[in-house]
Amino acid sequence: MVLPVESGSQRVLKHLMKKPLKLEVSQRVANDCRDLGIYTVTNILIGIPGETKADIEETRRNLRSINSNWFNVFCTNPLVGSEIHAIAKKHGYIREDSLGSDHKIATIETPDFSREYIQEMQYLLNLELNFVCNNDMRLGEYKTALEGLEHVIKVKEDHAFAWFYAGECHKQLGDTEQAAACRRRYDQYATTPFWKQYVSKFALPFPE
């Protein structure tokens, strides 16, 4: 089940997205689904005009309390003809060539944040929520967590975080051979320039 939470900031939900949804409701729905064995994916959107860095930090903190199995974190990239697109265009917040077709690429820049900031926060939130603070692992649901991590590896074979946490799952499940194999793959990718910065930021172990 997809949960359209959209933001962890009550101000953003109420005043910018005009969405009468409270964090407690999202928490309860995610918990109920987990109790019923329903896998949930929570959609999050950052970078809407009017949002601030403080709002995004609030979102970052609050989303940890929603026990969803997975989080999709998107960048605001409004469709032409939408209210948000009109606002962004009016204030010069959006590139002229943007058609709002790819929510993985940040296109809006306001006095509160740059495109580069939103792009980086989108990736950091993804790493934090789906890997470092993975709810399935935290709650001891290692088989479920492993399924999600293995899916990531199929899509992006060099995903260092996916290999590391897959190894942790195998270790908890008692499969030491697979845990060691995953750790070797993690060691292979963790020292590359791209992954080294995130390994350091989240204090994952550096390969010996």
Look up the domain containing 169 and give its range: 142-208
Look at the block and give the residue holding tokens 């172990």. Answer: 205
Number of domains in the chain: 2
CATH number of the domain residue 55 falls in: 3.30.750.200
| pTM for the model | 0.93
Query: Which of 107, 133, 159 delimits the end of a domain?
Result: 133
User: Based on the domain organization, do 83 and 184 belong to the same domain?
Assistant: no
pLDDT confidence of residue 85: 83
User: Based on the domain organization, do 106 and 200 belong to the same domain?
Assistant: no
User: Based on the domain organization, do 104 and 146 belong to the same domain?
Assistant: no
Q: What is the DSSP string of 12-55?
A: IIIIIS-----HHHHHHHHHHHHHTT---EEEEEE--TT--HHH
Look at the block and give the residue holding tokens 């929603």. Answer: 66
User: Based on the domain organization, do 14 and 85 belong to the same domain?
Assistant: yes
pLDDT confidence of residue 56: 96
pLDDT confidence of residue 99: 61
pLDDT confidence of residue 98: 63
What does pLDDT average to in each consecutive run of 10 residues of the chain (208 residues)?
93 89 92 97 95 95 95 89 85 73 84 95 97 98 98 98 98 98 97 96 91
* Backbone φ, ψ for residue 40 (5° rounding): -120, 140
Output the CA–CA distances (angstroms, integers) from residue 167 to 26, 198, 200, in the order listed: 30, 18, 19
For residue 182, the tally of other CB atoms under 10 A from its CB is: 25
C-alpha–C-alpha distance, residues 105 and 112, integer Å? 18
pLDDT confidence of residue 97: 62
pLDDT confidence of residue 100: 57
User: Based on the domain organization, do 10 and 112 belong to the same domain?
Assistant: yes
